Structure 1
Amino acid sequence: MNSGRDPVTEAGPVRGPRPDLADALERGEIVFFPVCPVELPPHEDLERLRSELPRQLRAKNVSYHPESRRLRGVASRGGLRDAVLDTLTAHGARVRAFLRECMPALTEGWTVGTTSFRPIQERGRGLSAHASNELIHFDAGAYGATDGDRILRFFVNVNPEEDRVWCTKGTFPDVFARYGREAGVANGGALGRGPVDRLRGRLLRAVAKAGLGEAVLADSSPYDRLMRRFHNYMKDTPSFQERDETWREIRFPPFSAWMVLTDMVSHASVSGQHALVDTYILRLAACRHPELAPINILRGGPPPGARGPNITGAGQR
């Protein structure tokens, strides 16, 4: 993120295909919408999520899993659970339609992941380091094995009063150039699957087809394990988390939205409560700039001129 200028750039309303937004994501930019471009759930449904779910939480977040058509993370049964399920499935469908419309090429062949609601204040949650959103990291293994495909997340701050606050220390090429060797990921070796990984993948896909859809989330690959090592190094290393010249804060106001490749942009959610989050796995083959993808950075080493992320605005009030 270049210092000395406003990191938020308005790009106008989104109507129809916008390949520039796909390119911005691949370059490691955060595409920001001052007003969410997707119709939000009705006020009463949002109020139910904000007021009732925190008392019924069984996990870090509440998530709808489309591969099994199940809602995870809610303790209660009956009315509340059914209402939350309806709210999340409807919101997820609207986000998918929007992304397909504005980025048809990048979303070709994607895997649709969870639609989640994050009901708890991020600041001071007291989670373990590896589970904490407050520590800067790259996402790894967000939806099972990616094998080098990209992790896209679409966020909406549905808190009516409070900003959601992130911080970042740069994009993958930049962070890898500075810390890859110390983290033990600079010489990753072969990143393709060997016989054991291929066998595990086939078995898990068979189990998923037999009815246990979430079995695919247990899959892994050499690339995903290397990214998890980098993720854990970042969260486990206090010196990495310190503020320096690369550290930047980003504030997302109420009812704004943003999308980002979270395997590309280092990030932490340092404060904020009540956010909707949709996760997708984008095919590397659908990318126009595959040379910028982490798997190819790991294979070839950091490119010259690595830089931090920009924020590209893609909407207006």
Structure 2
Amino acid sequence: AGLRVGRTSLRPRAVDAAAAGPRKDDRRLHTDAFPSQPTRGWRILRVFSNIDPAGEPRVWQIGESFEAYARRWVAKTRRMAPLEAWLLHRLGITKSRRSEYDAVMLALHDHAKLDDAYQATAPRREMRFPAASSWVVFTDAVVHAAVSGRYALEQTFYVPPSSLACEAVSPLRILERLTVRPLC
């Protein structure tokens, strides 16, 4: 199987106006994991375009490597309860059954976003994307935060692990190595 097309979205509002609590605050460093959209190890590849009509840049912060990020919290993640994935899917909370990988990725996302000390001290560097520019990111592996900008277009794609040139460095394989168990 090949590339699967995901959501397309327009973000016309300023980044700082979009936060609705720390879990949804994209100004906080995180990797992407979607509570209702399990990926089962497929990579999240996103194409962003800054279409700001006033010519303002979109500013991101890029954090540490995925492996360093995962090592911070992987021991605090829990295994899913028996029937948890089935129940979430049957109740319509998830679009498909959540895997152990999805549960770990969601836990990492939440631990990062909710940890004020991490947010204050984590290593990061600034990336400025000028108006009329586009960038492509595996947002499940790149620790990132959108700190300013408006009028961004986003297109999400899902890439199967078997299509990767180096599957060993994917979040799935890194997390399997850190947890010492298969996650999908």
Q: TM-score range by the shorter chain?
A: 0.7 to 0.9
* 1:288–1:239 CA distance, 2 compared to 1 (3 A): same
| Residue pair 2:22, 2:113 contacting (<8 A) in 1 also | yes
Q: Give the match for residue 283 of structure 1.
A: 160
> Which ranges of 4 or more aligned residues in structure 1 deviate by more than 6 Å?
none
**Who is 1:307 aligned against?**
none
- Computed over aligned residues only, the root mean square deviation of the Cα atoms, in angstroms, reads 2.8
For residues 19-34 of structure 1, the aligned pairs below 5 Å read none
Q: Please name the residue that 1:118 is paired with.
A: 11
Q: Which has the higher contact order (CA 8 A, sep 6+)?
A: 2
- What is the match of residue 127 of structure 1? 20
Shift in Å, 1:110: 2.4
Q: 1:113, 1:143 within 8 Å by CA — same for their partners in 2?
A: no
**Could you tell me which amino acid in structure 2 is paired with residue 165 of structure 1?**
V
SS of the residue 2:128 aligns to: strand
Aligned partners of 1:263, 1:241: CA distance in 2, in Å? 18
Q: Tell me which of 86, 97, 101 is aligned to 1:223.
A: 101
Which secondary structure state, in structure 1, belongs to the residue aligned with residue 118 of structure 2?
helix
- Aligned partner of 2:174 in structure 1 is 297
| Inter-CA distance 154–135: structure 2 relative to 1 (3 Å threshold) | same
TM-score by length of 2: 0.84
Query: Could you report, residue by residue, the CA deviation over 1:108-146 in whole angstroms, capped at 9, with x for unpaired residues?
Result: 522211110001100244421111111110101276111
Deviation at 1:269, TM superposition (A): 0.5
Letter in structure 2 aligned against 1:227: M
Q: Distance in 2 between matches of 1:272 and 1:297?
A: 32
**Structure 1: unaligned runs, 5 residues or longer:** 1-107, 208-214, 303-317
Counterparts of 1:192-271 in structure 2, within 5 Å, are 197=85, 217=95, 219-244=97-122, 246-271=123-148
How far did residue 243 of structure 1 move?
4.2
The percent identity for this pair of structures is 31
CA distance in 1, matches of 2:103, 2:23: 14
Secondary structure of residue in 2 paired with 1:109: coil
In 1: Cα distance, 2:2 partner to 2:35 partner: 18
| CA separation of 1:243 and 1:255: change in aligned 2, threshold 3 A | farther
Q: Which residue of 2 aligns with 1:172?
A: 66
Task: Quote the Cα distance in structure 2 between the aligned partners of 1:274 and 1:141.
Answer: 22
Partners of 1:133 and 1:292 in 2: CA distance:
24
Shift of 1:197: 3.2
* Per-residue deviation, 1:216: 6.0
Alpha carbons 2:38, 2:99 under 8 Å: kept: yes
Q: 1:278 to 1:143 in 2, by over 3 A?
A: farther
Query: Which protein has the bigger strand share?
Result: 2
Contact 2:86 2:97 in 1 (8 A): no
What's the CA shift string for 1:55-108, capped at 9, x where partnerless?
A: xxxxxxxxxxxxxxxxxxxxxxxxxxxxxxxxxxxxxxxxxxxxxxxxxxxxx5
Matched letter for residue 242 of structure 1 = A
Which ranges in structure 2 are unaligned for 5 or more consecutive residues? 180-184
Using structure 1 for the length normalisation, give the TM-score. Answer: 0.50
Alignment equivalent of 1:146, drawn from 39, 45, 50: 39
Distance change in 2, residues 1:143/1:280 (3 Å): farther
Cα contact 2:35–2:94 (8 A) shared by 1:
no
Offset of 1:149 from its aligned partner? 1.1
Letter in 2 for 1:274: Y
Give the structure with higher Rg (CA): 1
- Report SS of the residue matched to 1:144: coil
1 CA distance for matches of 2:19 and 2:94?
A: 29
